């Protein structure tokens, strides 16, 4: 049971809560009523607003549509007026641009091209819309006249500004191959920048709008003439410079020239001049003879013009490569890409044909020189051919894309030079073998024959042109291996050839030596020639090339030289035989000589004296140019004769075989030695 007090408290609490809930419910009812009233008011306002909007829309929409139509009509009127203005402008193009077209594009190219654009558009308009109108013919004529003026301007710019490249600048340009610093400074500017820009603009317009390719012919004709004249000018520069100073030169490059130009010698190829200088050195050391002739034209008499022409041609070839490269770079900026190769091919033809023709003339001159045995001229082919083969990779690169006939010109010339060079080598060897033994041409003093010096001079050239000469010989080989010959193969061929020439020379010298009636002079002649050959081979390093196929060549020549010395020494036997112990009377001290014995001693003294005097008189006029060999032969002979004569004089000098001993004992031992010391010395 709940106590009465708690129940009463509980009831009061419940009654309080109920009262509060009733108050809350009453508040909610009031709020709902107010909300309903507000909603009704809002709905009423919105309904009124909607009604007003509908009235406004019904009033505005017709006005808007009317305004839109008016705007459209206005736009159409403006477009129509614009089109009319545009069409009318075409009828004024001719009059507006005629003065500009008549005055030409010079000095105002952009303005001129702008006028040409207007004329072109007018032509297109009338062709599409009024093909029969007189205005079309008028603008067409004006367009053609403007195009002709642009073509004329193109020709004028190219003609006025395409200058021949000076020889001095070309030489500086060529020297850039080997001098990187110089190469950076030397730049070839064919056209000024402003002119080049105008030329490019005109060419592009003519291609794109003018539908004309004639300007390309104009371009290559003008540039071709400039290229050809530049190379010819370089050649003429060589001739003039060589005639005035002997050596063509190129002043220092402009950027380094400052106030005082300095002479810069042009690199000259290895030509005959080097061998001639070697020969002069040998002459100073007593290796060369100056007597005796052959049917070979002497190399020493070579005209300096051969060197000049050779140098000029070589430098012209290098100049062509450099200038052609530069021309192609210029051409790529001006000529459309699909016409560049053909235009370049035409551009270089005159200069290239000139070089090839000159090369063929060199081959023709060499062919004629071979017939008359003038191998001096033939030797000019060697430096030229070497340079052509060295330059061929650059040639091939420059001529990429040109016609096959253009590409084949240089290989054809190289083949011709190799063929004629190989023939020259073989003919030279044959001439060495077959040079006639003309008695009046033989050196009277037995010195080096001119055939020998000429042969050695010729072979010395092959040191500078080993690869070239070897390739010449290899090109004539018919074996399959020759088609792809190596440098070692060429070197062996050249060594074999040199040995062949030396063998032919040796056989010919043996034949020539028989012209001499005196075997001793024949021996001196062979000794001098063999010694000259050996020393020349050693000094010029030809011996190394010979040793490729003949390891014992040096030893063989030394044996030949020694053999001839021994042959010469036998000439003194007729002198020393008189005083040798053979068949001499035996002298006993204190025993009187018989008449027969005295007579024998007298005859021996007389025979020795006469033989000594005769040999010294004869051999004094002979020559041994090599001082070392001369002293060696003198000393050996002096030792033999002095010992033999000294022994004879010691035995019979004090024997009373005559009442006039001074008549028979004419010379002391020292005097005999002095007489032999004067052998081979025409100045003594």
Lowest mean pLDDT among 126-130, 265-269, 318-322, 632-636: 265-269
Burial of 486 by CB count in 10 Å (0-12 exposed, 13-18 middle, 19+ buried)?
A: exposed
Q: Is the pLDDT of residue 304 over 90?
A: no
Q: Looking at 533-537, 592-596, 641-645, which range is the least confident one?
A: 592-596
Range in 14-18, 122-126, 290-294, 624-628 with the lowest mean pLDDT? 290-294
pLDDT at 80: 61
Position 254 pLDDT exceeds 50: no
Q: What residues does 265 pair with on adjacent strands?
A: 249
pLDDT-based confidence at residue 78 (cuts at 50, 70, 90): low
Q: Give the pLDDT confidence of 324-346 residue by residue, as tens digits.
A: 999 999 999 999 998 999 999 99
Contact predicate 407/397, CB 8 Å: no
pLDDT (average), residues 228-252: 72
State the alpha helices, DSSP H only, in 253-293: 254-257, 272-284
Over residues 10-37, mean pLDDT? 88
The pLDDT-based confidence of 89 (bands split at 50, 70, 90) is low
Q: How far apart are CA 228 and CA 231, in angstroms?
A: 5
Tell me, what's the pLDDT at 393? 94
Per-residue pLDDT averaged across 292-299, rounded? Answer: 50
Which two three-digit tokens encode residue 60?
A: 């505005």
Q: Are 658 and 602 in contact (CB under 8 A)?
A: yes
Tokens of 359: 């090369």
Q: State the pLDDT at residue 61.
A: 81
At residue 93, the pLDDT reads 76
Alpha-carbon distance of 659 to 640, in angstroms, equals 30
Statement: residue 295 has pLDDT above 80: no
Q: For CA atoms 190, 194, 198, 203, give the dihedral sign.
A: positive
User: Crossing angle, helix 381-398 and helix 450-464, to 10 degrees?
Assistant: 20
| pLDDT at 250 (0 to 100) | 41
Nearest to 549 by CA among 617, 594, 503, 591: 503
Long-range contacts (CB closer than 8 Å, 24 or more residues apart) made by 485-493: 490/466, 491/466, 491/545, 491/548, 492/548, 492/549
pLDDT digits (tens, 9 = 90+) for 443-457: 999 999 999 999 999
Mean pLDDT of the chain: 83
DSSP result, 375-406: HHHHHTHHHHHHHHHHHHHHHHHHTTTS-HHH
Beta bridge mates, 557: none
Averaged over 515-519, what is the pLDDT? 93
Top pLDDT among 482 and 525 is at 525
Q: Cβ contacts of residue 312 below 8 Å, gap of 6+?
A: 234, 235, 238, 239
pLDDT, residue 598, reads 86
Query: How many Cα atoms sit within 13 Å of 640 on the Cβ side?
Result: 15
Nearest in space to 530 (alpha carbons), one of 504, 509, 501: 509
Rounded Cα distance between 230 and 244, Å, is 21
Task: Give mean pLDDT, residues 36-56.
Answer: 85
pLDDT at residue 266 greater than cutoff 50: no
In this predicted structure, the answer to whether residue 520 has a pLDDT above a threshold of 90 is yes
pLDDT band at 486 (very low <50, low <70, confident <90, very high): confident
Query: Could you tell me what percent of the chain has a pLDDT over 70?
Result: 84
Look at residue 586 in the predicted model and tell me its pLDDT.
78
| Residue matched to tokens 């010691």 | 650
Q: 3-class SS at 265?
A: strand
> Which of 527, 523, 520, 522 is closest to 614 using CA atoms?
520
pLDDT at 154: 92
pLDDT surpassing 70 at residue 247: no
Residues in Cβ contact with 392 at an 8 Å cutoff, skipping those fewer than 6 apart: 410, 411, 414
For the CA atoms of 131, 137, 140, 146, the dihedral, rounded to the nearest 10 degrees, stands at -160
pLDDT on residue 280: 45
Q: Is it the case that residue 475 has pLDDT exceeding 90?
A: no
Q: Tell me which long-range contacts 512-518 makes (C-beta under 8 A, separation of at least 24).
A: 512/437, 512/442, 512/449, 512/451, 514/437, 515/437, 515/439, 515/442, 516/442, 516/446, 518/571, 518/618
CB 362 within 8 A of CB 384: yes
At residue 244, the pLDDT reads 59
Distances (CA, A) of 337 to 130, 323, 328, 344: 37, 20, 11, 11
Q: What is the pTM of this model?
A: 0.73
How are the residues of the chain apportioned to helix, strand and coil, as percentages rounded to the nearest 5?
A: 75, 0, 25
Q: What is the pLDDT of residue 392?
A: 94
207 phi/psi in degrees, rounded to 5: -75, -45
Q: pLDDT grade, residue 180 (50/70/90)?
A: very low
Instruction: List pLDDT tens digits, range 631-645.
Output: 999 999 999 999 999
**What pLDDT is attached to residue 143?**
87
Residue 662 scores a pLDDT above 60: yes
Q: Which of 262-276, 331-345, 586-600 has the lowest mean pLDDT?
A: 262-276
pLDDT in tens, 384-419: 999 999 999 999 999 998 999 999 999 999 999 999
> Which of 214, 101, 227, 102 lies closest to 154, judged by CA?
214
- Cα 504 from Cα 510, distance rounded (Å): 10
Task: Provide, rounded to the nearest whole percent, the portion of the chain with pLDDT above 90.
Answer: 47
393: tokens are 């990779």
Give the Cβ contact number of residue 489 at 10 Å: 18
- At residue 606 the predicted structure's pLDDT band, cuts being 50, 70 and 90, is very high
Helices 519-539 + 553-569 axis angle, to 10: 150
Non-local (6+) Cβ contacts of 5 within 8 A are none
Mean pLDDT score, 546-557: 93
Q: How many CB atoms lie within 10 A of CB 368?
A: 12
Stretch 109-138: mean pLDDT, rounded?
83
The least confident of 102-116, 235-249, 481-495, 508-522 is 235-249
Instruction: Report in angstroms the alpha-carbon separations of 566 from 263, 268, 287, 524, 632.
Output: 57, 46, 20, 10, 12
In sequence order, the 6+-apart residues with CB closer than 8 A to the CB of 277 are: none
pLDDT over threshold 90, residue 427: yes
Lowest mean pLDDT among 256-265, 313-322, 636-645: 256-265
Q: What pLDDT, in 10s, does the model give residues 612-622?
A: 999 999 999 99
Residues 115-129, mean pLDDT to the nearest whole number: 83
């Amino acid at each position: 049971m709940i106590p009465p007090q708690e129940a009463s408290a509980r009831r009061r609490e419940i009654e309080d809560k109920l009262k509060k809930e009733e108050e809350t419910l009453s508040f909610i009812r009031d709020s709902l009523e107010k909300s309903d009233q507000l909603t009704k008011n809002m709905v009423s306002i919105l309904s009124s607003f909607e009604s007003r909007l509908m009235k406004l829309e019904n009033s505005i929409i017709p006005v808007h549509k009317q305004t839109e139509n008016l705007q459209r009509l206005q736009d159409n009127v403006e477009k129509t007026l614009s089109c009319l203005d545009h069409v009318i402008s075409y009828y004024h193009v001719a009059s507006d641009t005629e003065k500009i077209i008549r005055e030409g594009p010079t000095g105002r190219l952009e303005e001129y091209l702008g006028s040409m654009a207007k004329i072109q558009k007018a032509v297109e308009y009338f062709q599409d819309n009024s093909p029969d109108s007189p205005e079309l013919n008028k603008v067409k004529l004006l367009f053609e006249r403007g195009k002709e003026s642009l073509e004329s301007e193109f020709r004028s710019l190219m003609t006025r500004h395409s200058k021949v490249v000076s020889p001095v600048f070309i030489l500086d340009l060529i020297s850039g191959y080997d001098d990187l610093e110089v190469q950076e400074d030397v730049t070839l500017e064919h056209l000024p920048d402003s002119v080049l820009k105008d030329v490019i603009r005109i060419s592009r317009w003519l291609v794109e709008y003018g539908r004309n390719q004639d300007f390309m012919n104009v371009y290559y004709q003008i540039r071709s003439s400039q290229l050809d004249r530049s190379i010819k000018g370089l050649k003429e520069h060589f001739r003039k410079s060589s005639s005035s100073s002997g050596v063509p030169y190129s002043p220092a490059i402009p950027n380094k020239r400052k106030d005082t130009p300095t002479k810069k010698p042009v690199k000259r190829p290895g030509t005959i001049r080097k061998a001639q200088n070697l020969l002069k050195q040998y002459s100073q050391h007593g290796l060369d003879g100056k007597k005796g002739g052959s049917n070979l034209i002497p190399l020493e008499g070579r005209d300096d013009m051969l060197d000049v022409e050779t140098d000029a041609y070589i430098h012209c070839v290098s100049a062509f490569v450099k200038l052609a490269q530069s021309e192609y770079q210029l051409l790529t900026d001006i000529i459309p890409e699909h016409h560049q190769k053909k235009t370049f091919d035409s551009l270089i033809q005159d200069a290239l044909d000139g070089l090839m023709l000159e090369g063929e003339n060199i081959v023709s001159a060499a062919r004629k020189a071979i017939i008359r045995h003038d191998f001096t001229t033939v030797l000019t082919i060697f430096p030229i051919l070497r340079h052509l083969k060295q330059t061929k990779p650059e040639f091939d690169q420059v001529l990429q894309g040109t016609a096959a006939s253009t590409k084949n010109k240089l290989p054809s010339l190289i083949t011709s030079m190799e063929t004629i060079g190989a023939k020259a080598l073989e003919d030279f060897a044959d001439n060495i073998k077959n040079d006639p033994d003309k008695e009046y041409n033989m050196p009277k003093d037995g010195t080096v024959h001119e055939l020998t010096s000429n042969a050695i001079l010729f072979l010395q050239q092959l040191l500078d042109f080993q690869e070239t000469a070897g390739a010449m010989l290899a090109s004539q080989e018919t074996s399959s291996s020759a088609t792809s010959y190596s440098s070692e193969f060429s070197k062996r061929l050249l060594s074999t050839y040199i040995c062949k020439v030396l063998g032919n020379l040796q056989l010919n010298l043996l034949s020539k030596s028989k012209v001499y009636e005196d075997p001793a002079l024949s021996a001196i002649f062979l000794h001098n020639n063999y010694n000259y050959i050996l020393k020349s081979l050693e000094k010029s390093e030809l011996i190394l090339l010979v040793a490729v196929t003949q390891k014992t060549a040096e030893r063989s020549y030394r044996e030949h030289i020694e053999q001839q010395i021994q042959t010469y020494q036998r000439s003194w036997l007729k002198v020393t035989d008189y005083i040798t112990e053979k068949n001499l009377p035996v002298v006993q001290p204190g025993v009187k000589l018989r008449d027969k014995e005295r007579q024998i001693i007298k005859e021996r003294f007389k025979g020795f004296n006469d033989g000594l005097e005769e040999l010294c008189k004869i051999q004094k006029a002979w020559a041994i140019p090599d001082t070392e060999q001369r002293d060696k032969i003198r000393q050996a002979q002096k030792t033999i004769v002095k010992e033999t004569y000294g022994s004879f004089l010691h035995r019979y000098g004090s024997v009373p075989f005559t009442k006039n001993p001074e008549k028979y004992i004419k010379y002391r031992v020292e005097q005999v030695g002095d007489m032999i010391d004067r052998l081979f010395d025409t100045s003594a």
